[in-house]
Structure 1
């Protein structure tokens, strides 16, 4: 184990880096879609409650765990968690904190490469004069590797490697490089977001067309911000809100703990964690909700938005809409939109490299360059299949198992460790040591009881999702002593490919494609499992090495 002396250069840099870790593509792509699909204003209230009862407590837990482990010279979750309990199992549970980051960055960087290419195409005027359908085909052709762009075969793979290389280079400069990117990227991201949000707010009915005469940007804003208290009784909305909190705050990954491990012993973490969390919420709730949905509603109408809201809108719809503002402002808007997505992506992906680098530095004495390059090589080996086999679901498998399930499992286990094994009394002292604010004492109770229960409910809900996501019917069946049918999206159903089998039964004409999808989905899971087991093996070897070192 090395005596790591690296630390953050400034409090501002730390907060911006932590906020950049949390502020990612999900703030602008996933949040508005989740809000639309779960009732708009009916989603916001459960979302904010989940932020208070799960988001903030998890930030406190992860910042505290990170700083505590960093004091003893540990900068990645296997040995950060190991320092909090005498049980050897916790270092292996800490493997999630390295595994998740590598698996997520493998496909996350691919999305970053899309945003980079779309900035370039916007500047070159590639979308000028294209119809909605043509821009939609443009995206489909790109991600499915159909044809070549600029005469370069497999250009998406080339750009992916380039963007991953940029990440590796910045990581090789250490915390200082990450801090510089955060100080530049976060202000630009917010500036670009404000420009687009103001334009969206001021559209009104100015761009209603003959095809969509009732289009009004304010319909989108009103839909998102009109409270619907009935949603408080809908388990489906609560599950979606809790899932978005995980996704947006980057909790349950291991990157927050790693960043926090470089904080000085008595440096504040209470105010820092809250500031980073609320910065993320400002970007997500105020800016994330003010761009895609209002702008789309202003051109196409709220009914079109409700019917078509999805991840693809960012790349398949927005470029067309920006062109309707005229050539010059269309280019400005496109650069702002894809530029903010790029900065949101890279500030998050940089955080994903630090747990691996911290571990290799602590345990094997690897320097920044060697750690960054090795991280890039492993990420590349994991990521190339997500590019080549995107249309067969490789990307989706990574996102589900590493970017969703793994987060919930790890967050639940680390919360139990912090509140029940390390002990809430000791944990409370750790949170408040050097604090610049007074944390309400009710959070001690929330962190010990409410947060673990909510996390457990989220996991169980994902495990046993009822058919059609009909939680009201499932609860009624359960209380009557009857079993209910599981949805193909339930974790248990996913394990046996029930979602693909259902699609196969409904669309037998797509049999060849769906059989390939099942094959590549299984291959992706095997690759993820091998990655996890490989990291377990490295952690085991490091523990043997530590033991020998202590005896010599």
Structure 2
């Protein structure tokens, strides 16, 4: 069968095959949020009943938007700025917005991975002793885990510096090696190891006394919660952030696929693999929490710290200290936690490096260093300090719930309504995939349903942050919350106005009529 004509540059990197792309996509989707966010979100939003809105959100928003990212990247063959520039010059800024959102995310994501690497070492001797909370506070250089009026402290935390250097070296080295030799190879090693280690951890957790109580607490349905709109918004938010969609990652990854790729099939496998791992993480986490409640003679509902940093770096170390064979359990948990973080971390860097490389005509290693070194420096200055946890909490909340959600809404409305490109993208998805299942339902979801649901979440979040604040003082959040969003907006405007050093406008997507003839 003849090859499919394409005008994309022959020098553009490609995955070695469909499997390499699939593993990279799953590796990006399975990250820290799967382990420390999903169990807590499910538990506080209806338990077993949460599975209903979760599945609806997966089918109605997660998979449709994932396919949008795939279609854009695969058809227009470029980084996020290049893809949106090729769609319309009016929308190049949206690509740069996604790039600089990723730039900010990778500055603090690296620090969390560094903490988990250090805790993997701590696990061998259960170094936190009998007071995991005080140990974590001491390790990251703060006196307590929460406070109403924190302030920025420039004092670097010595225990964070070395693991953070390791994380950044790994990330930049992997991306500099390229898509197939770097990103793909790393995921082929780390993803199977991650799944194997976590499966062992879950089996061990299920054998602990009280594990059943933990699972009952997680999965007992509270059907009344389904009448609360906040539960549905929580489900859509979890799916959205978990799949790594809307901020350039899957779009960029799909751009390295060969012309003939089963986009729909791959998207479905990646989406359901990610959700399956989230449920697996929930089983492992709550079986462990059930043991903790049993050991203390309390109900699971009386435990605190069931999500976020407290779950990973306080609650779990506490359980590890109390359980037989805790050191091995700790190594498995923090080792798998680290690998989940590393595979997601490199996908975030890839978005930024690809944007710089194509805009200025730089080689991949050069683009990686130019964008990676400043981000690494900010990582140490902002989040590797004594106030790093506070800084991280605020930046993460504002960048994700305002920046990422806002960018996704613009993408849906821009592509679906303003530019009216969904019919072309729908046809592209169907032609390159083994089954033609993408129909008008997909266009309705992208153009109307997804932006409407995300719009509600966006307005509620902006109003809440503007009127009541997030958690800390207004001045602190003005700097690290609104201030960070402002810096992203300014960088987006500047890089949009800079001239391209590569012939970005000369690219023409594959003629769909020709493609259809070849596929026959």
1:161 aligned residue: 165
After superposition, the CA RMSD in angstroms is 2.7
Q: Contact conserved, 2:426 with 2:438, CA < 8 A, in 1?
A: no
**Cα gap change, 1:398/1:523 in structure 2, threshold over 3 Å: closer, same or farther?**
closer
Counterpart residue number, 1:461? 457
Equivalence map 1:481-492=2 (5 Å): 490-492=461-463
Deviation at 1:108, TM superposition (A): 0.8
Partner of 1:403: 400
Partner of residue 412, structure 1: 409
Contact map agreement 1:2 1:362 (CA 8 A) in 2: no
Residues 24-103 of structure 1: matches in 2 within 5 Å? 24-70=31-77, 74=78, 76-85=79-88, 88-103=89-104
Distance 1:6 1:437, change over 3 A: same
Q: Distance in 2 between matches of 1:261 and 1:278?
A: 21
Post-superposition offset of 1:224: 2.5
- Alpha-carbon separation, structure 2, partners of 1:323 and 1:519: 35
Question: 2: CA distance between counterparts of 1:341 and 1:403?
Answer: 21
Superposed, which structure 2 residues align to 1:230-269 within 5 Å?
230-269=224-263
Q: Which moved more, 1:45-54 or 1:400-409?
A: 400-409
**In structure 1, distance between residues paired with 2:392 and 2:177:** 29
SS in structure 2 of the partner of residue 405 of structure 1: helix
Q: TM-score, normalised by structure 1?
A: 0.81
Alignment of 1:347-386 (within 5 A): 347-383=343-379, 384-386=381-383
* 1:211 alignment counterpart: none
Q: Distance in 2 between matches of 1:415 and 1:445?
A: 14
What is the DSSP-based 3-state SS (H/G/I as helix, E as strand, rest coil) of the residue aligned with 1:6? Answer: coil
**Cα 1:548–1:67, aligned 2, differ >3 Å: closer, same or farther?**
closer
Aligned match of 2:16: 9
- Look up the SS of the partner of 1:227 in the other structure: coil
Higher relative contact order (CA 8 A, sep 6+): 2
Give unpaired runs (5+ residues) of structure 1: 207-215, 465-489, 504-513
Q: Which residue of 1 aligns with 2:334?
A: 338
Whole-angstrom CA distance in 2 between matches of 1:69 and 1:51: 26
**What is the rounded CA distance, in whole Å, between the counterparts of 2:328 and 2:135 in structure 1?**
20
TM-score, length of structure 2 as denominator length: 0.86
Q: Aligned partners of 2:321, 2:441: CA distance in 1, in Å?
A: 52
Please give the residue correspondences for 1:112-511 in structure 2 after superposition, counting only pairs within 5 Å.
Answer: 112-127=113-128, 130-131=129-130, 134-144=131-141, 154-175=158-179, 176-203=181-208, 206=209, 216-285=210-279, 287-301=280-294, 303-305=299-301, 307-308=303-304, 309-311=306-308, 312-326=310-324, 329-383=325-379, 384-388=381-385, 390=387, 393-420=390-417, 421-439=419-437, 441=439, 444-449=440-445, 452-464=448-460, 490-495=461-466, 498-499=469-470
**CA–CA distance in 1 between the matches of 2:18 and 2:447?**
28
Is residue 18 from structure 1 mapped to residue 35 from structure 2 by the alignment? Answer: no
- Equivalent position of 2:150 in the other structure: none
| SS of equivalent to 1:290 | helix
CA shift in 2, pair 1:499/1:185, >3 Å: closer
Q: What residue ranges of structure 2 are gaps of 5+ in the alignment? A: 1-7, 145-155, 508-520
Q: Give, in whole Å, the separation in 2 of the partners of 1:447 and 1:378.
A: 39
Q: Which residue of 1 aligns with 2:479?
A: 522
8 A Cα contact 1:66 1:258, kept in partner? yes
Q: CA deviation at 1:107?
A: 0.7
User: CA 1:540 to 1:407, structure 2 compared with 1: closer, same or farther past 3 Å?
Assistant: same
Residue 537 of structure 1, CA deviation: 1.3
Aligned residues: 481
Deviation at 1:389?
5.5
Going from structure 1 to structure 2, the CA distance change for 1:168 and 1:392 (only over 3 Å counts) comes to: closer
Change in Cα spacing, 1:126 to 1:272, as seen in structure 2 (3 Å) is same
CA distance in 1, matches of 2:446, 2:432: 25
Alignment partners' CA distance in 2, 1:524 and 1:461: 17
Aligned partner of 1:473 in structure 2 is: none
Q: Offset at 1:534?
A: 2.1
Q: 2:321, 2:390 → 1: CA distance?
A: 31
CA distance in 2, matches of 1:523, 1:339: 30
Corresponding position of 1:108: 109
